Structure 1
Amino acid sequence: MACHRSFVRVVVVGDAGTGKSSLIAAAATDEFLETVVSVLPETVLPAEYYPDGIPVKIIDTPSSLEGKARVEEELLLADAVVLTYACDQPETLIRLENYWLPEIRRLKANIPVVLAGCMLDLRDEHYPINLELVMGPIMQQFREIETCIECSAANLVQVAEVFYYAQKAVLHPTAPLFDQESQSLRPRCIRALKRIFVLCDHDMDSALNDDELNKFQVKCFNAPLSPSEIEDVKRVVNEKVPEGINHRGLTLKGFLYLHAVFIEKGRLETTWTVLREFGYNDELELQKENLPALSERAPNQSVELTTAALDFLKGIFSLFDSNKDGALQDSELDELFSTAPENPWDEAPYDDSVERTEQGDLELSAFISQWVLMTLLDPAQSLAYLSYLGYTGDPATAFRVSRKRSLDVKKKHTDRHVFQCFVFGPKNAGKSALLSSFVGRPFRNNYEITSSQCYTVNSVEQRGGIKKTLILHEIQEDNVKEFLSSKDSLAACDVAVFVYESSDEYSLKRASELLMDVAREGEESGYGVPCLLISAKSDSQSYLKEIKETKMISQAMKIGAPIHINVKENNMNGVFRKIVNAAEQCHLNIPETEQGRNKKHYRQLVNRSLIVASVGAAVAITLTAYRTYAIKKAASS
């Protein structure tokens, strides 16, 4: 599988008089021109010049101070840089280290650099230099340098190679694969190659036998290996890494060793060919075009895992639960994700979202909950990670898309198994305590301010033993205004709760204001959602008017009475089951504002008028038809 590029853009920079234009002209014409213009126009070296079949666009740049702005502009558009110095002018070599390389870094171009020593024919023969000795310290300091090559446009020595190495640095970059400092494969490269190894190990015996090795070779390079070539590969590996070969074939260690050797010997195209054949991009992630496109869905539709995907994940869990204790330790979880770019749950919003055992391990229910959360928030990432783990079914069958919530409301029934609850409330009302209690974390008197990406997820058992997954998403009070400014802000919400402290009059007032804001947004956007009030900290003495005021709020907004909980004493009053019930009965507890009621009443009046008008029109048409019929009948008689 070729790299998806139509061309490679190479920008040539360097001091005046270092041979930039002569180098470009010689590469384009395959001859030395005695005179060339100071800055050449864009030059294209055609695709047939290169084994990858991708042309190179070469951009010449001015060396004058006046041309600095253009140089900067071109560097930011470049795929690679050829940085020139003159072999007969040692001061231009010093300028690379003191000016040009720091300048490229300052621009944050983040592109590979090829150092090209031009006018090699003019170097004094009596003063030869050891290129490796001179360039070693510079390349050590500036890791973006891919290679250094010296050339002569006058003698046509290694001119074409300069741009070949520049193209190669773009199409087959070193940085994603190999750490020059430690001289070892990078973690992401190891993970990608491990996944490829596992996919090719069809009999799953942790080794590639001769047949599997041959199939791998044919898939990647369209050519089989002869028996003698296979034996040569095994012999080379066995000499350097004895554990890389066993009686069954080439082990993962041997497979990784071979690729490390390819890279060290400059044969990066070999490893990149393998990676791209298995669908990887330059960041060593599966290319999106190699994953099935997710079906289009409305903002108020959600994505859930199918039974097939859940069964696969349960099998994966069992496979990596090496000590069979029903829970994954961190080391087992790391091993499970060792064929993926990284563990996707190490950072927000996943890192603290599920229940853990006292030892900090992940039980099956929490493992599945984590996948459910990732599927809801980022279906594309969830699909990619199923592929990284070796999901063999049709990826398109791993997900189901729910009905639109507006249709659920109309039908007074939902087919969803996963519900997302937005948790609103003023500071210190008990929102974080509610989320923490949902995943079994002990109560703490002091809570740090949580981020806007705070989620917890767990399964909730309903009557009849049916389990549904509930996701709680805390919305910080300071973020509510910005959050609700989006017209689709409530589209992903199945139910909203408003937490207030029962002993604090202001807390209830603020919670009711937030409820009103959400109600208004729901009416304006058409994404009205069931809403519940939660009276937290019920161990505290309620203020005198709480019952009266909450009753007024409930009646005015047409929602249920508050649910009283006490997280500190673990008296939760079935709050999570009640939240799920509200989400399931999606046509109830949708708050109404006075403005919303007026609009609703107006629409009803208009609809009634239209119905009356329609009936009247139908009667008039019927009478007219009858009269016409009567006249015709009388005339005929």
Structure 2
Amino acid sequence: MSGGSVAATPVPGHRTTVRVAVVGDRGTGKSSLIAAAASESFPDSVSPVLPPTRLPADYYPDGVPVTIIDTASSLEGKAKLEEELKRADAVVLTYACDKPETLNRLQTFWIPEIRRLKVKAPVIVVGCKLDLRDEHFPVSLERVMAPIMQQFREIETCIECSAANLVQVPEVFYYAQKAVLHPTAPLFDQESQTLKPRCIRALKRIFILCDHDMDSALNDKELNEFQIKCFNAPLQPAEIVGVKRVVQERVPEGVNDLGLTLTGFLFLHALFIEKGRLETTWAVLRKFGYNDDIELRKENLPVLSKKAPDQSVELTSEAVDFLIRIFSLFDSNNDGALQDSELDELFSTAPESPWDEAPYKNSVERTEFGDLRLSGFLAQWDLMTLLDPLKSLAYLIYLGYTNDPTTALRVTRKRTLDAKKQQSDRHVFQCFVFGPKNAGKSSLLSSFVGRPFQNTHGLTGNQSYTVNAVDQLRGTKKTLILHEIQEDDVKQFLSSKDSLAACDVAIFVYDSSDEYSLKRASALLMDVARRGEDTGYGVPCLFIALKDDLDSYPMAVRDSEAICREMKIDAPIRISIKKREMNNIFWRIVNAAERCHLSVPETEYGRNMKQYRHLVNRSLVFASVGAAAAVIALAAYRAYASRKSHSTS
């Protein structure tokens, strides 16, 4: 990686054009600037507002054409101006060097206006008419613009030019194009003058991928291979020596006897950016598949096969084996659990830890010290794979999964087909938890991941999940995901045709000491059962009586059992989370999901529909038999008639 003598061949992503809006006060030289850039000469006269102007692909080294949009400064053109600002990839904001008041207007009007419109495009501030500035009053551009750039971080760079003398005119739109194709913001923090965390993480991953002998340093051969991969040009021995010398002078720990260290690798990229050579770092990132947000480009990930609503996605055994190895690698003290610092290090080559926010945060069991065991680690991956398979796959790759990505995930069989076969091939089951308020849904989810019982709970969001492994017979384990559905959200949730497609089993919890709670749980069970019958996504259901440590109301047992008999599901399961009398509840949930053809509730409507379909099918059978008999009779009659005709003749 050359410090300056080897020309990088930038890879500007997949853009086919860069759209630049030129805005500023009337008379600041917008149209003259555009005309001079397009014709490479100063126009004798120019229209007040030019039509869109195109600089061809070969105008700049990146090979991407630039479309320049001139704008009017009048009130009549305000709507058009706002539209163009919102469409722009970059904004060139002009002031006149001979009119200081136009420079002040940048701070008092133009940049606040750009912010008001929520324009996210980089801004290039351009002082036009440099030739008209009074020579007796020289101005330092850096001194004038430094406080403005400090206040307004959207300003990418500042430049002064003269269209009349053709001074720095092409550079204006080169900087605008460069700000779009090779943006600073994702890579570098201007305030602290350091690489941004995502950039560091991506470069660390690239460094590890290039460190083939895994000695934490890039030797001369590895450096040369990196250079050829990214820039299609080898480094000469003298250039490698030069690179190492530059690093060692500034960052002694950046080079050791084995070669260039990660510290040195990161320093070089910070140096390139400080010198304005962002295209070098972007060329490296894009060569390794990153987009402008410093994430792996989705088009570089394999297309997941289309799945039906009642299919899910799981990790393959190959991916699980990889994750077990990664876990062991980062379990530095070999205690069978990852501390937060070890987990942070494990994800240090990814854009960030994927589990710091909902729905993953607090979804798995931790040790008393807050560490994550292997079972919880794998369960968390199962949850992410079920909810967002593409994200799960991307993070496997961030962590170093180098096998064919298509070997990492599998699509399960349709659950409707599982029901017909009366068995499931899934390793991960999702359970929807329904129930009225204060029934104990959150307590159940918390108990599943080993959290102690509390009278108040924090798991009350619309996307509350907990996940854990559940021991089965014959020593096997299944992953169970509990997804809490808030009572207020059930109606909207069930309005979707496919709402139950992702559900392997549904449970309905109620407070066994509260008659109203039982009635509400029963109503929810009825709603879910009807929705399943309407859509064909009927699911196994269990009725669960929580707070069994409290005194039941009179007739509670009889009423709840009658509901279950009516719906043709198993009798209620009674548990007390407070007393830790769980009655094998999680094993029972998994068992119901595996035996997916059983415990599917039936309503009166469903039974009538089933009887109706049975009668229709019988009628069709009788009709088919009758039609066949008629055909046979007709054929026999024709044969008889034919024979009679022959005998007569």
Q: What is the alpha-carbon distance in structure 2 between the residues aligned to residue 125 and residue 635 of structure 1?
A: 123
- In the alignment, residue 221 of structure 1 is paired with which amino acid? F
Matched length: 637
Q: What is the alpha-carbon distance in structure 1 between the residues aligned to residue 535 and residue 30 of structure 2?
A: 60
Residue 327 (1) aligns with residue 368 (2) = no
Which range is displaced more, 535-544 or 357-366?
A: 535-544
Q: Which residue of 1 aligns with 2:622?
A: 612
Please give the residue correspondences for 1:187-586 in structure 2 after superposition, counting only pairs within 5 Å: 187-448=197-458, 450-586=460-596
Q: What is the alpha-carbon distance in structure 2 between the residues aligned to residue 57 and residue 441 of structure 1?
A: 59
Q: What is the alpha-carbon distance in structure 2 between the residues aligned to residue 350 and residue 170 of structure 1?
A: 34
Residue 136 (1) aligns with residue 146 (2) = yes
Percentage of pairs with the same residue: 73
Q: What is the alpha-carbon distance in structure 1 between the residues aligned to residue 261 and residue 170 of structure 2?
A: 39
- In the alignment, residue 299 of structure 1 is paired with which amino acid? P
Q: What is the alpha-carbon distance in structure 1 between the residues aligned to residue 286 and residue 384 of structure 2?
A: 26
SS in 2 for 1:199: helix
Q: Which residue of 2 aligns with 1:83?
A: 93
Q: What is the alpha-carbon distance in structure 2 between the residues aligned to residue 602 and residue 343 of structure 1?
A: 54
Deviation readout 1:129-160 (Å, 9 max, x if unpaired): 11111111111111111111110000111001
Aligned-pair CA distance for 1:5 = 0.8
Q: What is the alpha-carbon distance in structure 1 between the residues aligned to residue 500 and residue 403 of structure 2?
A: 33
Q: Among residues 48, 55, 71, which one is paired with 2:58 in the alignment?
A: 48
SS in 2 for 1:599: helix
Q: What is the alpha-carbon distance in structure 1 between the residues aligned to residue 639 and residue 570 of structure 2?
A: 59
- In the alignment, residue 3 of structure 1 is paired with which amino acid? G
Which range is displaced more, 333-342 or 477-486?
A: 477-486
Q: Which residue of 2 aligns with 1:4?
A: 14
Please give the residue correspondences for 1:15-54 in structure 2 after superposition, counting only pairs within 5 Å: 15-54=25-64
Q: Which residue of 2 aligns with 1:184?
A: 194
Deviation readout 1:157-202 (Å, 9 max, x if unpaired): 1001000000000000001000000000000000010011011111
Q: What is the alpha-carbon distance in structure 2 between the residues aligned to residue 626 and residue 233 of structure 1?
A: 98
- In the alignment, residue 40 of structure 1 is paired with which amino acid? L
SS in 2 for 1:423: strand
SS in 2 for 1:259: helix
Deviation readout 1:588-608 (Å, 9 max, x if unpaired): 111112112111111110000
Runs of 5+ unmatched residues, structure 2: 1-10
- In the alignment, residue 68 of structure 1 is paired with which amino acid? K
SS in 1 for 2:525: helix
**Contact 2:25–2:95 (CA<8 Å) still a contact in 1?**
yes
Task: Normalising by structure 2, report the TM-score.
Answer: 0.97
- In the alignment, residue 197 of structure 2 is paired with which amino acid? P
SS in 2 for 1:322: coil
Which range is displaced more, 310-319 or 515-524?
A: 515-524
SS in 1 for 2:165: coil
Q: Which residue of 2 aligns with 1:597?
A: 607
Q: What is the alpha-carbon distance in structure 1 between the residues aligned to residue 140 and residue 630 of structure 2?
A: 105
Q: Among residues 44, 62, 80, which one is paired with 2:72 in the alignment?
A: 62
Q: What is the alpha-carbon distance in structure 1 between the residues aligned to residue 212 and residue 112 of structure 2?
A: 49
Q: What is the alpha-carbon distance in structure 2 between the residues aligned to residue 20 and residue 586 of structure 1?
A: 70
- In the alignment, residue 125 of structure 1 is paired with which amino acid? E
SS in 1 for 2:127: strand
- In the alignment, residue 507 of structure 1 is paired with which amino acid? S
Q: What is the alpha-carbon distance in structure 1 between the residues aligned to residue 12 and residue 424 of structure 2?
A: 46
SS in 2 for 1:470: strand
SS in 2 for 1:309: helix
Q: Among residues 156, 168, 182, which one is paired with 1:158 in the alignment?
A: 168
- In the alignment, residue 338 of structure 1 is paired with which amino acid? S
Which range is displaced more, 555-564 or 341-350?
A: 555-564
SS in 2 for 1:559: coil
- In the alignment, residue 56 of structure 2 is paired with which amino acid? P
SS in 2 for 1:334: helix
Deviation readout 1:326-375 (Å, 9 max, x if unpaired): 10000000000000000000010101100000000000000000000000
Aligned-pair CA distance for 1:103 = 1.2
**Contact 2:12–2:182 (CA<8 Å) still a contact in 1?**
no
Q: What is the alpha-carbon distance in structure 1 between the residues aligned to residue 231 and residue 281 of structure 2?
A: 11
Aligned-pair CA distance for 1:558 = 1.2
Aligned-pair CA distance for 1:623 = 3.5
Deviation readout 1:409-449 (Å, 9 max, x if unpaired): 11111111110000000011111111111111111122246
Deviation readout 1:269-301 (Å, 9 max, x if unpaired): 000000011111111000000111111001110
Aligned-pair CA distance for 1:50 = 1.1
Q: What is the alpha-carbon distance in structure 1 between the residues aligned to residue 537 and residue 35 of structure 2?
A: 64
Aligned-pair CA distance for 1:633 = 5.6
Deviation readout 1:362-395 (Å, 9 max, x if unpaired): 0000000000000000001000000100101110
Q: What is the alpha-carbon distance in structure 1 between the residues aligned to residue 12 and residue 403 of structure 2?
A: 26
Q: Which residue of 2 aligns with 1:173?
A: 183
Q: Which residue of 1 aligns with 2:5?
A: none
SS in 1 for 2:344: helix
Q: What is the alpha-carbon distance in structure 2 between the residues aligned to residue 45 and residue 503 of structure 1?
A: 77
Aligned-pair CA distance for 1:634 = 6.6
Deviation readout 1:228-254 (Å, 9 max, x if unpaired): 100100111011111100111100000
Q: After the TM superposition, list the runs of 4 or more consecutive aligned residues in structure 1 that deviate by more than 6 angstroms.
A: 634-637
- In the alignment, residue 567 of structure 2 is paired with which amino acid? M
Task: Normalising by structure 1, report the TM-score.
Answer: 0.99
Q: What is the alpha-carbon distance in structure 1 between the residues aligned to residue 102 and residue 638 of structure 2?
A: 105
Q: What is the alpha-carbon distance in structure 2 between the residues aligned to residue 624 and residue 142 of structure 1?
A: 91
Q: What is the alpha-carbon distance in structure 1 between the residues aligned to residue 614 and residue 557 of structure 2?
A: 34
Q: What is the alpha-carbon distance in structure 2 between the residues aligned to residue 494 and residue 446 of structure 1?
A: 29
Q: 1:36 to 1:635 in 2, by over 3 A?
A: closer
Q: What is the alpha-carbon distance in structure 2 between the residues aligned to residue 613 and residue 285 of structure 1?
A: 62
CA RMSD, aligned part only? 1.1
Aligned-pair CA distance for 1:627 = 4.4
